[in-house]
Amino acid sequence: MNDRVEINPDWPWAKNYRISQAVRVGTTIYVSGQVAFDRDGKVVGGNNMGEQSRQVFANIREILSVAGASMDDVVKITAFLVDLSRYSEYSAARAEAFPNNIPASTAVSAPSLVMPDFLVEVEAVAETGSGG
């Protein structure tokens, strides 16, 4: 049987919430939906979808690093966007985040996210060692 391991970077803001930033089961890592928080819990990017998206992907990258994986190991992402008319801004940040291995990807229109300042949230699934 595979062991279940919680993955949590040392982010001060995350201690206030009862969630795992990711869970590893075997070689698969399930990353919780990430938003544009910096490590101290401040929203990055204001009303800029591209900047928020870059912060989201930076958070995913850090979580994967703690888990011993990389962005090249990501096989699937799901993005929740509050304004699909700004999809191109998100898409540009996604292309920057995945220059090598392009994951399967879904984008969903969300009327709102957990806080009104958030424009984008992304969850990811990674398979350790699949990045080559």
Over residues 48-72, the pLDDT tens digits come to: 999 999 999 999 999 999 999 999 9
Domains defined along the chain, listed by start? 4-127 (3.30.1330.40)
Q: Which two tokens stand for residue 98?
A: 């995945």
Please report the pLDDT score of residue 1 as a whole number.
57
Candidate from 12-26, 60-74, 76-90 with smallest mean pLDDT: 12-26
pLDDT mean across residues, the chain: 94
Burial of 43 (0-12, 13-18, 19+ CB in 10 A): middle
What is the pTM for the complete model shown? 0.95
